[in-house]
Structure 1
Amino acid sequence: MKIAGAILALTVALTAAAPAHANNQASGKRPARFADVTPMETIARSRTDAADIAASVPGAGAVLLEALRYRGRNAKQLGLPTQLWCADFMNMILRKVGGKGTHSRAARSFLSFGKKLDSPRVGAIVIFRRGGPNNGHVGIVRGTDGAGNLIVISGNHGNKVQESRYPTSRVLGYMMPPQYVLDDIANAARAEARAEALGR
């Protein structure tokens, strides 16, 4: 008898609540708990989405995806110097995808590496000012957030490879690697694809 009463009470409660929920849907209004939710990013939300976006920029997809593989790792795990290693990480990524870097440990060495872009693009190399006139930080653009900040993958952010937000006010330049580097990356990708095809 108690169970039957509980079921009846639950049924009445659900029936009473249903019209309010239906009215919200019918009027196109969202429930109050969703009222202040706005999208944070206007760009990729996954590695696959990032790859699709990066594919529109020559050579950028390979560089970005290679960098994403190392998120959370520190310099020691990557075999890099443990101090000021963002440029070391960028050069390592370029080598891994079959290209050449600047062979310099200075982040600002990338300011003369290839073609300067007038705005950020997914997969582009971005150089930031940091501290003194010769200091800097370098990473790879993954996108922007809803506030216009850059989302960047870089080494030596909190002593790890991390995806972080940076204000555009700190940007010194956006660079696309030189064409010969992009050609080397494309050739390496083709060679890898051929090797995989032969291995199957």
Structure 2
Amino acid sequence: MTDSASIVFVVDDDDSVCRALARLIRSAGYRVETFGTARAFLDRMPADACPACVVLDIQLPDLSGLELARELDAALPIIFITGHGDIAMGVGAMKAGATDFLPKPVSDTDLLRAIEQALARAVQTRAIRHELDSLRGRVERLTPREREVMALVVTGLLNKQVASELGTVEQTIKAHRRRVMAKMEATSLAQLIRIADKVGISGVA
């Protein structure tokens, strides 16, 4: 199943390959943009506005595909294509974060399958990133004392133990804890613990 909101970037210095791949990808219902060099792609690469992936030739005239992959630093799923591939190159591509490594001439079926999988990964990655952004926004609403309380509560300490750790009384900790639960939009301690784990809160804040 295709998603018209998704976009596929093709980076290949062979114009005929770019045109052929663009036709194929559009025929499958995806938007596509083509680039002849890695630098042209980096100059144009848009903000994270929609799920996207890159179909990338390893051998390019400026930066190589592997160098471009390192520049992207896993920002987008990459499908490497090459007419001169070997096992070592394939291993290097996978270490650079490729979702697939396909030899030229690329099979239409294999490429479209790889694109579908890469875009599915992009959707999942965006969802995780957006969730983390939302959770971090909630953490920002906490006061320094509330963060301390949250950090201790998620370790399993009772209210009176948290109060002892922070040099206050249990009733005060109960009030802080209620505010923490409300601001973090957590309905249970188990949910608060999962949130703390995702945002990296543990021990004494």
Global fold match (TM > 0.5): no
Normalising by structure 2, we get a TM-score of 0.24
Greater RCO (CA < 8 Å, at least 6 residues apart): 1
Structure showing the higher helix proportion among its residues: 2
Structure showing the higher strand proportion among its residues: 1
